[in-house]
Amino acid sequence: MKIAVDAMGGDFAPGVVIEGLADAIPDHPDCTFVLVGHEEKVSFYLDKYGLTGNPAIELFHAPTVCEMGELSTTALRGKKDCSITACARLLKEKAVAAMVTPGHTGATVAATKVLVRNLPGIDRAALAASMPSQAGRFLLVDAGANPDSDSLNLVQFALMGSIYAQYLFQVEKPRVGLLSVGGEDVKGNELTKETFKLLEKLPINFIGNIEADAAFEGGVDVVVADGFVGNVFLKSAEGLARLTMVWLKRVLKKNVFRFMWAMLAQNAFRELKAYGASDVIGGAPLLGVNGICIIGHGSSNPLAVKNAIRVAAECVRFDLNGKILAALDECGDIARKRHEKQA
């Protein structure tokens, strides 16, 4: 199995990526890693981590990088030779079974959309983000790849999310909820009302509408939403989490006694932070692309990179895409891409 790894992705590339790769290699004796990035910079770090000449690594030179602040379209226009685009091409040509990038989410979505295309029958690929809950974790699909989606897209997101959850949570019938507002009362907006009727007919464990606050209590494995709503859901939680940390620091620094007391409890706060941490999760897959694609946080640390690589390899072994295609077949018309729709 060959996996492309974007060495230039994220805020601390390529050092952090190569360190993560070094940690991952022993766990995947069946894999070869195509390390994509600027040859010189990559070689320097390969040497640093003792990986020069390692038979599990192939180098692929990509002269430019789509930086974190740049537009997504840069990967397709201004910097066609950037590492993300190179990874996407390798995936398209099936030179690799999977690609892993800790970098620019928008650029990856754009590059895979245009170069790799989706699995036959899948209209839009969706980002599946792992969110914390009182019971552990749940998946949010689409966490932000598509700002505009219709009910067919949501139906496909539910299907793909359910299959990915079978792998991620090791459950046979992941509980799938449709993100909505108003509970039984309002029943959502036009899009979710239409989607609800379709989801009821799918061969998935659809548990009905779920409100955003209820999702955090547990009881659901996959939360389905269009990319705009999903991204607001994700970013609102992230924003409130950061705000809570700011408040906690203010409260604990208020006077010297509190400060000393807080110092004694540092490991307690570290545990609190760990509840929300995503390094062990292993990045977010772009479900529906014709090739496994895993996107990490921009500020991925080596552990996060190692886990992203692990998830990529496991998705290939799990035959995620084969299962998605089989599920589409099983569903028939209800989940089919409308041929009159423009790609």
Binding footprint of its own copies on the chain (CB under 8 A): 71-72, 106, 132-134, 144, 147-148, 179, 181-182, 184-186, 188-190, 192, 211-217, 225, 227-229, 231-244, 246-248, 251-252, 254, 258, 261, 264-265, 268-269, 271-272, 275-276
Instruction: Report the alpha-carbon angle 165-170-173, nearest 5.
Output: 60
Which residue number, 72 or 83, has a Cβ lying nearer to its own copies? 72
Which residue number, 101 or 321, has a Cβ lying nearer to its own copies? 101
CB under 8 A, 24+ apart: contacts of 231-239: 231/143, 231/144, 231/147, 233/140, 233/179, 234/129, 234/131, 234/140, 234/143, 234/144, 236/212, 237/131
| Cα–Cα distance for residue pair 203/69, rounded to 1 Å | 41
| Cα–Cα distance for residue pair 322/147, rounded to 1 Å | 27
Find out whether 190 and 253 touch, Cβ atoms under 8 Å: no
Which residue number, 96 or 229, has a Cβ lying nearer to its own copies? 229
Helix (H, G, I), strand (E, B) or coil at 3: strand
Q: Which residues have a Cβ under 8 Å from the Cβ of 88 and sit 6 or more positions away?
A: 75, 99, 108, 111, 112, 115, 116
Closest CB 261 distance from its own copies, rounded Å: 6
Which residue number, 148 or 333, has a Cβ lying nearer to its own copies? 148
Tell me which residue has tokens 């700002």: 147
Closest CB 197 distance from its own copies, rounded Å: 16
Closest CB 264 distance from its own copies, rounded Å: 7
Closest CB 199 distance from its own copies, rounded Å: 17
Closest CB 66 distance from its own copies, rounded Å: 11
Closest CB 225 distance from its own copies, rounded Å: 8
